[in-house]
Every structure is written in structure tokens, then in C-alpha cells.
Structure 1
Amino acid sequence: MKITLAVPEDLPKLLAFRQEAAGWLSKLGSDQWSRPYPADHLLATIESGTVFMLRDGDATVGTITLTPDPEEGLWTEQELSEPSFFINKLTVARTHAGQNLGGRLLDWAGDRAFRASAKWLRLDAWTTNEALQRYYLDQGFEYVRTVREGVAVNGGPRVSGWLAQRAARPADHGFVDEAPPPV
């Protein structure tokens, strides 16, 4: 499997991933991703070079967004003074669930952050999705705090404010990394 930068032509696949994940999460009792994500916001992140695709031959089986830019209002000034990368929109196709691809994508992200001289790999997760929070804790992240006040990037109320981090570190994720080197 290989990791590549997303291109604008990947937009329909990314929107489909999100819709598939929202349906699966709904069956588990979570309202995460139940609101449609604006396609223009997603296209802007693709064009900024922060969206990565996991490809298995001709199939796209996962995605992760990795950026040095934090979401507004989540992290303190002191925390932001530490070099960090932030992940979001981690998604694995249901056809490839149960293969630890999400964990390996997190390892890839931590390795990439490390190579860019970051100290931390940070994330915010859905505040009501305790299963997802446990997943990140099981992946070596440490809980920082939950932020409930403020407005999310898409203009709605903040619903993804459970913050966690782990040290950026080299990792043997097993993917062929075809993305340009981190800056």
C-alpha cells in the first residue's frame, strides 16, 4: 500500500468516505459526521497539500489530513509554542476495516511530523464518541482536555473538542510513502 497526496479529483471519494463513515457511526449510536461537510472546505484542504490518500493498487482505502496548522480555539498559546502537527479526518474504508490501517496511518503521521522536527502529533476528536477516544488512547495518545466552547471551522457549534497528543516519533508503518517530504 502507498500514501500519496490527494488531488482535486479525489474529492468525490473523500466525500463518499465521510458519508460511509457517518452511516457506520450512526449504526453505532454516534452522531459524529452526521452533518454534511462542505465540499469547498474539503477541496481547500486538498489544494493546501494536507490531505493524504492510502491506496491499495487502484483502490483508495483510507485518508488522513495532517497539517501544521491547528484549528482555532483548541490549543493554548503555550501548547502552540511547541512544534506540532495536527491530524483530522482519519478514515478507513469499511472494506478494509480491522487491518490496523488507522493505527498505521497514525504511525505514518507521527513519523512524518518527526521528520518535520515536530515535538507532538495532536488531534481533536468528537466529544461524545467515547469509543473513538478509547481508540486514540489505545494508539498511545494522552488525553489533554475537552474544549466545548467556541465555533467549529465549518461555522457550527464545537462538537470535536476532545484533545489528545502523543510524541512525534519515527515509525515503521509499512507503507510506501509517495508524498513529498514534509516541510
Structure 2
Amino acid sequence: MQLQVQNSLAADIDTIFEFYDMAIAHQKKVFNKHWQGFSREMVQTEIDENRQYKILVDGVVACVFAVTFNDQLIWGERDHDAIYIHRIVTHPEFRGYSFVKEIIKWAKDYGAKNDIKFIRMDTWADNEKLLEYYTGCGFDYVGVVSMEKTDGLPKHYEGISLSLFEIVL
């Protein structure tokens, strides 16, 4: 099995949105909250800025994720020297491949090359299953933040609390 992490290309945008649709359908089945869609413009900007990624397994897109380097509204004063991982979606046929651990390996390598000190993530504060999963992958749980300002963030951030996770590099 050959596994590769690559930047997503403009030609991948429809695939990315298919993955988001699959994720929302799954979230609706297993949890009481779900993503409420994303703007194509936002995703296109991420692609243009090389912040949208895909994981290929033997040449097939198996997982997508996005990164950012600023997350002020979520991380406040701690928002520095970090890579923030967002919107990890694994195709149902590839569940169980531990892509979060692969993303962590990739992010550690990226961090070493780019003087980054933290890998960070967030999820809904009441999602116990993901909380356990992320800490099991090596993230430290660093607390909960209640979202006050959400301007510029996707709609599902409005009025929620988030669990925060980080790995210190």
C-alpha cells in the first residue's frame, strides 16, 4: 500500500465537496451536531494557498483535510507558531486507516521544516468519541472554549463550545 499526502489541486474541488457531503451525512447519523456546509470560495482559497490536502492510497483519494496558520477566534492569545488542522474527512471505504496519525506525522515534518511549535485541532466540546480518539492519537486536551465571535468561520461554529487539542513540537 502506498500512502501519499499531497496538496489538493483546483481539479479536486468537486471531490472535496463530495467528501464534505459524506461527512455531514455520517455526522447526522452518529452525533447531535453536524457541519452546515462550506463556501466553494473558502475552499478554493485554501487550494490556491496550498492549505488544502489529500491523502492518496495507491493513487485513490482516501482522505482530505485543510490547515491554517492563524486561528485567533478559537485560540485567542495562544494563537502563534502553530499549524491548525481542520475538516479531516475519510472516505467510508478507508475508515480504520488511522489517517489522523498519518496527518500528525506529516504535520510534525512540516513543523520541523517551518519553525512551527504546535499542531492544534478543535472539535465540538461534547463529542466524547472524538475527544477520546484525538487524545489516543497523541494530542493533549487543553480545555474548552465557548465561541463568542465567529465572523469568517463556517456556520457550525455559531454558539458552540469547542474542545481544544495540541501536540507540542
Q: Following superposition, which runs of at least 4 residues in structure 1 exceed 4 angstroms of deviation?
A: none
Instruction: Indicate whether 1:68 and 2:69 are aligned.
Output: yes
Any idea what the Cα deviations from partners look like across 1:78-100, whole Å, max 9, x if unmatched? Answer: x234x211111111111110121
Residue 62 (structure 1) shift: 0.7
**Matches of 1:101 and 1:160, distance apart in 2:** 25
With over 3 angstroms needed to count, the CA separation of the structure-2 counterparts of 1:6 and 1:150, relative to structure 1, is same
| Aligned residues of 2:37 and 2:154 also touching (Cα < 8 A) | no
SS in 1 for 2:34: coil
The equivalent position to 2:8 in structure 1, one of 6, 9, 28, is 6
Select which of 133, 150, 158 maps to 2:131.
133
TM-score normalized with structure 2 length? 0.87
* Equivalent residue letter for 1:76: G
Matched, 1:31 2:29: no
What is the CA–CA distance in structure 1 between the aligned matches of 2:34 and 2:161, rounded to whole Å?
9
CA–CA distance in structure 1, aligned partners of residues 137 and 39 of structure 2: 29
Contact 1:2 1:56 in 2 (8 A): yes
Q: Normalized against structure 1, the TM-score is what?
A: 0.80
Tell me: CA distance 1:58–1:104, structure 2 relative to 1, closer, same or farther (3 Å). Answer: closer
More strand by share: 2
Q: Percent same amino acid at aligned positions?
A: 18
Residue 159 to residue 97, structure 1, CA distance change in 2 (3 Å): same
**Which protein is richer in helix relative to its size?**
2
- For residues 1-21 of structure 1, give each alpha carbon's deviation from its aligned partner in whole angstroms, at most 9, with x where no partner exists: 212111111111111111111
Give 1:75's aligned amino acid. Answer: W
1:51 matched to which residue of 2? Answer: 52
Aligned mate of 2:119, from 109, 118, 121: 121
Give a deviation string over 1:141-161, Cα, whole Å, max 9, x none. 111121113233135615362
Flag the 1:102–1:160 CA change in 2: closer, same or farther, 3 A: farther
Matched to 2:12, the amino acid is D
Shift of 1:51: 0.8
* 1:43-98 alpha-carbon deviations (Å, 9 max, x no partner): 1111111111111234211112122222x322232x234x2111111111111101
Aligned length: 164
* Match of residue 90 from structure 2: 92
Q: Specify every segment of 5 or more residues in structure 1 that has no aligned partner in the other structure, as ranges.
A: 169-183
1:106 aligns with 2:104: yes
